[in-house]
Amino acid sequence: MSLLRKFAEQAILLDEKKDYEGAVEAYVKCIDILMEDLKIEKDTKVKDGVRQKIERFIKRAEYLKKEIEKTSIPDEMFPQVPTSNLVPISHADESVESFRQPSSNDLLSKEEIRVLMQTSLINGIKYVPFMDIDLKEKFSGSGKFKDVDGLLKLANKQKDRLKGWKRLEEISGKPVIIDKIDCKSVKQTVVSDCSFVASLSITAEYENKFKKQLISKILYPQKNGIPVYNPYGKYMAKFYVNGIKRKVIIDDLLPVGENGKLLCSMSKNPNEFWVSLIEKAYMKIMGGYDFPGSSSNIDMYALTGWIPERSPLKSSDPEVTIDNDLIFNKLFSRYHQGHCLITVSTGKLSNEEQERTGLVELHAYAVLDLREIDGVKLLKLKNPWTHYEWKGNYSDTDKTRWTPSLMKTLCYDPKSPHNNDDGIFWIDYKSLIHFFDVFYINWDPNIFPFNAVVHDSWDAGTGPIKDLYTVSQNPQYTLNINTEHEATSIWILLSRHITEINDFENNKEYITVIVYEGGNKIYLPFDVKPIHNGSRINSPHYLGQLLIKGKGLKKYTLVVAQYEKSKTILYSLRVFSTARVSLKKIPQQYKFIEKLNGIWSGVEEENKSNFLIVLDDSSDKNNLVFEIKAPKQYHVSVYLRLVALKRPDHNTYQTASCNKYRNGYNVLELKDVPAGTFKIEVKTYIENQHGPFFLSIQSSCKFKTKIA
């Protein structure tokens, strides 16, 4: 059996077994063998056939690289949130430490300040960072306060029913902001923000259950730490948006319809207005009540600053198995410790399914409780509409499964008038897995004692549109971890700043973070296998989770990546850890840079692919990087050959080259190059090819170049 046939059969076998990394390696070996054959073959027809085989192998290898990129997941799918003996859990302070605020003690860089200020302008209105001085905001004045930004845009259903805008005292004779924080009182009406209202419900339930202020810390003015009614009609809200806590000012004008009925989310208590005011402040940031809809973890992040995670219950890939029992056990344990907030969303349901089940398609439900009794996993959900409930197993209408023992354990009586279509119901986990698609979870960042953050930007014109071949111009960061534990939990949160509602509604930016060991700059994305290569997602938030084994100082490189980059992005990159961490951007390493245009003409005397470089004679310890970019059909490499040394008696340096030919891009990184004259040769694997290329030279010393 020939060597080519051996590797080809191996590649096909690995491909069929979905061992894509092994298959790519075998396909590359086939390509290398065929390249050698092409160089010695004389027959034109045979050479054409060899080229076609090479193209087929290249095409398949490139496809598999994309599949690796999409499906690669960390070995620990669900790294454990740190246990209480490693992490002191503190509920004393409501502030989220990870949201670094500008202060004399914690200075932001000029670039970070630029990013945070640039993304203060959201939907044409400026929302500045929330500072300590804002706690002294003036909430009094003559007459009634009117928001200078005007009335909010209305949703179509609101427009159809609108009779006017009224202030709180016109709606209620005894208005209060908070009478009693109760998830049962939160009611969605005509605004299509079920994810936000579900987030309000579960956040209210959490504050009630764990006595930790979340909802009651959002609105101002306050008295004794509780929001109070302001006769002047001015209110201030605090949300976590675009990398930092931000300040939102609103008046108390609310849209009303027939008989003064509110056309916005509300409390079932007609005198209580925290639901309506928090919704109004959030809708203002989002561009108006004509909100296109969101995901609950995005909304809960804005409300609380808690770390957002998306945990699907189903996979579209038949080769990927989701361990739903593992998910339930993790959520069950952490929910009852007060470590997380949870909602769950349905997928597409037919009209017949909706009628039969009582569920609403593409709808968010708050998770109010999780239990496991006699081997049955149960969840207590709330529909933000406060009516229209589940009709299946363990519903109010289920006459076979509600035993006296179960009702007593759950303090629940399906026949009670209090449970008469209030939108709250129990459902078994098997049914939930069948009819629901995804859990949205937000984790309390205080379970991680250490964190680091940078705010940065990535210009659209920097680097290629796709980073399949090189990540040299992607933003990169060194993460240092100093741990005394055998295992360290690291969560990496990349949050893209969004400033326009159209960008939020039609998010076309697919983002992720790739993690490599070492802490050094990465040029080739697959030259070294990443320890984490996240799927690119079109969500404002990407969360990567790692479990690091072993004690001591460890260094990692974090690479921000996009799929088909089309616009400049501004973002915040956060790391949460059970060990001490530092996060710093990898700077431009070389002071002296030159970019050259070259061409392979196919005729040696007309080629502009060889250059001479003369390195400054001040040092024999020079560092250089040569980057070659060319059409992807060319396999390219760079050679550096010695011509003459400045100090020949002290050095035996001869030649260096890339370790292999690569299609479209290659890099040669050199250390301790002596002063002297060298010849740079930019080559294609197949001789006498035609085409242009770009050569970038970066050096730690001064240098001069010319065409050789």
Closest alpha carbon to 432 in 332, 324, 352: 324
Measured between alpha carbons, how far is 568 from 588 in angstroms, rounded to an integer? Answer: 19
CB contact set of 113 (below 8 Å; sequence gap of 6+): 102
Measured between alpha carbons, how far is 277 from 168 in angstroms, rounded to an integer? Answer: 10
* Token output for 191: 């605004």
- Helix ranges (DSSP H) in 395-516: 404-410, 429-435, 501-505
Would you call 375 helix, strand, or coil by DSSP? coil
Q: Are 122 and 285 in contact (CB under 8 A)?
A: yes
Closest alpha carbon to 341 in 370, 377, 376, 384: 370
Torsion (CA) 173, 174, 180, 182 in degrees, nearest 10: 10
Please pick, among 30, 297, 339, 363, the residue that the annotation labels catalytic.
363
Q: Residue 626 corresponds to which amino acid? A: F
Own/partner pairs, 346-352, CB within 8 angstroms, 24+ separation: 346/435, 346/436, 346/437, 347/314, 347/435, 347/436, 347/437, 347/438, 349/435
What CA–CA distances, in Å, run from 134 to 128, 137, 447? 10, 5, 28
Please pick, among 230, 297, 383, 533, the residue that the annotation labels catalytic.
383
Measured between alpha carbons, how far is 659 from 653 in angstroms, rounded to an integer? Answer: 17
Measured between alpha carbons, how far is 539 from 455 in angstroms, rounded to an integer? Answer: 18
Neighbours of 579 (CB within 10 A): 22
For 281, counting Cβ atoms within 10 Å of its Cβ (0-12 exposed, 13-18 middle, 19+ buried), the class is buried
Measured between alpha carbons, how far is 193 from 181 in angstroms, rounded to an integer? Answer: 20
Would you call 653 helix, strand, or coil by DSSP? coil
User: Hey, CA dihedral for 30, 36, 37, 43, is it positive or negative?
Assistant: positive
Measured between alpha carbons, how far is 84 from 642 in angstroms, rounded to an integer? Answer: 60
CB contact set of 5 (below 8 Å; sequence gap of 6+): none
- Helix ranges (DSSP H) in 249-381: 274-285, 296-304, 324-336, 351-357
Measured between alpha carbons, how far is 412 from 315 in angstroms, rounded to an integer? Answer: 34
Q: Could you please report the per-residue DSSP string of 50-107?
A: HHHHHHHHHHHHHHHHHHHHHH---S-SSPPPPPTTTS----S--S-TTSPPPBTTBP
Neighbours of 102 (CB within 10 A): 14
Q: Residue 19 corresponds to which amino acid? A: D
What CA–CA distances, in Å, run from 496 to 157, 286, 673? 31, 15, 40
Does residue 383 carry a catalytic annotation? yes
Please pick, among 30, 123, 183, 194, the residue that the annotation labels catalytic.
194
Query: If you ran DSSP here, which 8-state letter would residue 286 be given?
Result: T
Does residue 230 carry a catalytic annotation? no
Does residue 194 carry a catalytic annotation? yes
Q: What angle do CA 585, 590, 596 make, to 5 degrees?
A: 120
Whether the bond between 221 and the residue before it is cis, its omega within 30 degrees of 0, is yes
Instruction: Name the strand (E) or helix (H) holding 668.
Output: strand 665-673
Q: Report the catalytic residues.
A: 194, 363, 383
